[in-house]
Amino acid sequence: MSEKVRTVSDSSFEQEVLQSERPVLVDFWAAWCAPCRMLAPTVEAVGEQYFGSADVVKVNVDDSPVTAGTYGIRGIPTLILFKAGKEVERIVGATSKESISRIIDNHLSLASA
């Protein structure tokens, strides 16, 4: 993990994600999940790309079952974009950097409009 992508847990989720001033992309994952490991470099790249304008964090579903349950995480990887404390987009399964960037860009442009 880099300084561009932080790990959050059940105890820090509200402060780090729901109270954030910026859009926050949350990657729900687990160490045993092969698609999650495949997606990890993409999530890191997105964190680098949007550093300073959007936050990117990871939640390990095994370590943070309360948060995973709260958001109905049934399959991983699941990426959820939060804005102003609300879920605004969700992608389930491995996806491309372009798909992730598109949803973040949509909400960044809405913020500046």
pLDDT over 60 (residue 3): yes
Q: Report pLDDT digits (tens) over 73-89.
A: 999 999 999 999 999 99
The mean pLDDT value for 34-56 works out to 96
* Residue 81: CB atoms within 10 Å: 21
Residue 111 has pLDDT above 70, yes or no: no
Structure-token match 């399964």, residue found? 93
- Map out the domains of the chain with their CATH numbers: 5-112 (3.40.30.10)
Q: Which residues are catalytic, by number?
A: 33, 36
The DSSP result for 9-77, as a single string, is -TTTHIIIIIT-SS-EEEEEE-TT-HHHHHHHHHHHHHHHHTTTTSEEEEEETTT-HHHHHHTT--SSS
What is the pLDDT confidence band of residue 53, given thresholds at 50, 70 and 90? very high
Average pLDDT, the chain: 94
Give the tens place of pLDDT for each residue, 92-110: 999 999 999 999 999 997 6
